[in-house]
Amino acid sequence: MAEPRVGVGVFVFRSAEDGHFIVGERKGSHGAGTIALPGGHLDFGESFEDCAAREIKEETGIDIENIRFLTATNTVFGDTGKHYVTIFMAANAIAKPEGEPPEPKVGHTKPFL
């Protein structure tokens, strides 16, 4: 039996006053081709906040601040035998990176900024 995986998805807002947030197309992983929040798997011993900051930097090149917990979900996909606990966080972008965002790794999102 597979162990549950813990993922962190992040609503990254352009500013504290702006209601727009980053989404992207998932590549080469569960949900490939769908639009999703940037994020990824929690590493052993990592806090939710540290995971959010790391994943956003890796996927978009953006640094974030004011990182906060929103909610969590517990989802079992019986047909595939997968179990995900997803932590949803919110944060504000510190600044938009210059140029194009980095090319996403397998399973990461290509952001729409």
Q: Is 47 helix (H, G, I), strand (E, B) or coil?
A: coil
CATH of region 5-97: 3.90.79.10
Strand partners, 25: 35, 110
Give the neighbor-by-neighbor strand order of the sheet with 64-77.
39-41, 5-13, 82-93, 64-77
* Predicted local confidence at residue 27, as pLDDT: 79
Mean pLDDT of the chain: 85
Tally the C-alpha atoms within 13 A of residue 80's C-alpha that lie toward its C-beta.
9
More confident residue, 59 or 107: 59
CB 86 within 8 A of CB 73: yes
- Mean pLDDT lowest for which of 9-13, 21-25, 83-87, 106-110? 106-110
pLDDT (tens digit per residue) in 1-49: 678 999 999 999 987 777 889 888 887 766 788 899 999 999 999 999 9
104 has a pLDDT exceeding 60: no
Tally the C-alpha atoms within 13 A of residue 68's C-alpha that lie toward its C-beta.
5
